[in-house]
Amino acid sequence: MFDLIFVLVPILAIGVFAFVIGMMFVPSLRSKFMGHQLRMQKRMLEDNKDVMTDIGKITGEIGVKTAKGVIDENEDDIRHVVSKSADMSKDAITTTTRAIKKGLTEEESDVYCKHCGASIDSDSTFCKACGRKQ
């Protein structure tokens, strides 16, 4: 029994090794093998075309049903999340708008430099334009 294993395993290993080397270094062998594999797959697909089509259809239907089921089951949560994010973006827009408006109004403050007359921030100690103290 053991003797047989000691003979079979090396033969198998040598066979696999020879096959791999052959595939790596003999292009014609490789293309022959690949062609054979392709033909086998093609034949298999042709033989089971109807089954494969059915499997594809069923899988697609399951996917659609699952997605629909998930939406149906969580409709309230989804609606909540959607309206929440809508509120969030609304808030973000409001905040941004306020900031822009504030920036614009601050830019056009009615405080001017005593020396050169440039528009300056009401709380600034020095003029941005001429650098003199207010």
CA distance 24 to 12: 18
For residue 119, what are the β-bridge partners? 112
- What b/e sequence results for 53-67 when a residue is b if at least 16 CB atoms lie within 10 Å of its CB, and e otherwise? eeeeeeeeeeeeeee
Question: Least distance to Zn ion from the beta carbon of 129, Å?
Answer: 5
Residue from 18, 115, 121, 124 in contact with Zn ion (CB under 5 A): 115
- Token code pair at residue 59: 């899988």
Q: Does 43 bind Zn ion (CB under 5 A)?
A: no
Looking at the Cβ atoms of 29 and 129, the one nearer to Zn ion is 129
Q: Rounded distance, CA 48 to CA 17, Å?
A: 34
Number of residues this chain uses to bind Zn ion (CB under 5 A)? 7
- C-beta closer to Zn ion: residue 18 or 111: 111
- Identify any residues that bridge with 112 across adjacent strands, giving them in sequence order: 119
- CA–CA dist 96, 134 (Å, integer): 32
User: Which span sits near Zn ion by CB under 5 A: 45-53, 61-69, 80-88, 118-126?
Assistant: 118-126
Query: 9 or 130, CB closer to Zn ion?
Result: 130
Name the DSSP class of 110.
S
Would you say 33 or 112 has its CB closer to Zn ion?
A: 112
Residues 29, 33, 129, 134: which binds Zn ion (CB under 5 A)?
Answer: 129
Q: Candidates 54, 82, 116, 126: give the one binding Zn ion (CB under 5 A).
A: 116
The alpha carbon torsion through 25, 26, 29, 33 (nearest 10 deg) reads 20
The footprint of Zn ion (CB under 5 A) covers 113, 115-116, 118, 127, 129-130
